[in-house]
Structure 1
């Protein structure tokens, strides 16, 4: 046998730029380390989020009441009876209509006011923009109790600020919070004043992210200020509008603090909301019925959010 056949084959060299392969042991150690790091979050998530959510979902299919807290496993399943009962409840339907009214009027009004304020801050008052930002955003971080005190003073029937100003023009203002006609518009006005600051900050960031060359190109083409805003700025703000409309809509669908603090749902349930009525049912000890109302509201929020994504997504 020749010496050429006795030579060992040359060792295979690793191509340049390719990282060395790691053994299964190293990968297993990395996986274990990753699970150890995320384990606290997983435990907290299961204990305080996923667990209660699944538990409440199961509760909505039972007849659980306050008296069953000591013997939770003695409750009986009732299927979709709680959901049917909620949908047939006249007060719940009234609360759903009030919530729809609040959302349909409040969300567009909030976005329009927020966008208008953002445009003014971006174009008109740049030198003192920081001061205005703080002033507009301050109601967002203010306690609802303090806001209620301010608005009760503004809307007081006799010595209130609004009725006093109307009296200067010979107009006799109503009792805003005790009127079936004006109570809900009053709460909408308070909600817009309280919440438009968040959307304004987001709109302002979106406006400042649009290149100046876009408007300059529109000016060169002879487009006026409104045409540039309508056909150039608004289309570029579509993702921002989508985000603000979704977050504002979800918040307004769950509105609770305004009627709870200002009107207690009155007069004659004209300002009661789904969240407030659900809260009342929990207080009455009707846990199964209350959780079914919560999940009906969750389904509505999911559907409306899906519609918003379909209508406002980038094309």
Structure 2
């Protein structure tokens, strides 16, 4: 009996203390999400708002002067901005279709029951996506060296003269596209492979009974069933290419003659090389608008 009274007193005391305590069943969830929310505000929301305000200012040292839309007006009269934007779109138009075509082709091949050691090939194709880009770019710089590169050495056996891979405007852009395709084809291959594995096998069996061949099955079943995957890969690849920075920065530094200067590389140089942070912020927000508009158009074109 005494033990029961002791337990009741303990429970009553706990309830009294719980009322005084800030952490209650109703407030507990907010304490759990609080740290993540704080990090989101500090490292995402605040920089976004601060950058937007900065795009309307001119920064000289530690002094900031409000200049209205002067940075945006200057941007639309900047030939280097248009050049970098054109370079970005040229790379986007060429590289993304080639990469996605190769990704789909490899995914279909690895999905086939005729291929053995699938795990080995999947890992091999995916490895470039997790390889340190700086190390990979240095390797490509060695391979594509005009005088001592292995690629030109190999081409010389076929009577091909040395190609100016990193010093010619055309070939420098082609080199950037090559490295991007090498890096991201395996990544998209895994996404396509996941989509292929989710297509019901009954569809192919029914098509085979109706006399449809492999090619017809591919275009009438595989492609339509992969529509959501196509939408995702196209949109994400487009966004990634519009933000292209690493490859041209390491391989060509935007040269020669700004032939590989992308919009994000120009943004970086404006902000961290010339310390024109107000103008760089304006470039960033124009890029955000361009990315949003293109993504919206792509979604509309595919009927989503």
TM-score calculated relative to the size of structure 1: 0.85
1:294 aligns with one of 275, 280, 284: 284
For these two proteins, the number of residue pairs brought into alignment is 281
Between the aligned partners of 1:126 and 1:80, the Cα distance in structure 2 is: 59
Match of 1:36 among 31, 40, 45: 31
- Residue 123 of structure 2 is aligned to residue 134 of structure 1: yes
Measure, in 2, the Cα distance between the counterparts of 1:130 and 1:150.
26
Unaligned runs of 5+ in 1: 1-27
Q: 1:11-53 CA distances to partner (integer Å, 9 max, x unpaired)?
A: xxxxxxxxxxxxxxxxx95442222222222221111110110
Looking at structure 2, the residues matched to 97 and 125 of structure 1 have their Cα atoms a distance apart, in angstroms, of: 43
1:230 counterpart = 2:219: yes
Quote the Cα distance in structure 1 between the aligned partners of 2:149 and 2:32.
57
State the match for 1:84 in structure 2.
Answer: 73
Task: Give the Å deviation of 1:247.
Answer: 1.4
Say if 2:268 is the partner of 1:279: yes
Matched position secondary structure for 2:148: coil
| Counterpart Cα distance in 1 of 2:301 and 2:24 | 47
Contact 1:239–1:312, Cα closer than 8 Å, also in 2? no
Which among 234, 243, 250 is matched to residue 245 of structure 1? 234
Q: Distance in 2 between matches of 1:105 and 1:241?
A: 17
Superposed, which structure 2 residues align to 1:172-191 within 5 Å? 172-191=161-180
In the alignment, what sits opposite 1:46?
41
Unaligned stretches of 5+ residues in structure 2: 1-22
User: Deviation per CA, 1:190-242, whole angstroms, max 9, x where unpaired?
Assistant: 10001111111010010011111111222222222221111111010001111
Query: CA offset at residue 164 of structure 1?
Result: 2.2
Q: 1:145 to 1:302 in 2, by over 3 A?
A: same
CA distance in 1, matches of 2:78, 2:55: 16
Within-5 A mapping of 1:1-315: 30-65=25-60, 67-68=61-62, 71=63, 75-123=64-112, 126-283=115-272, 284-313=274-303
The residue that corresponds to 1:23 in the other structure is: none
Contact 1:239 1:313 in 2 (8 A): no
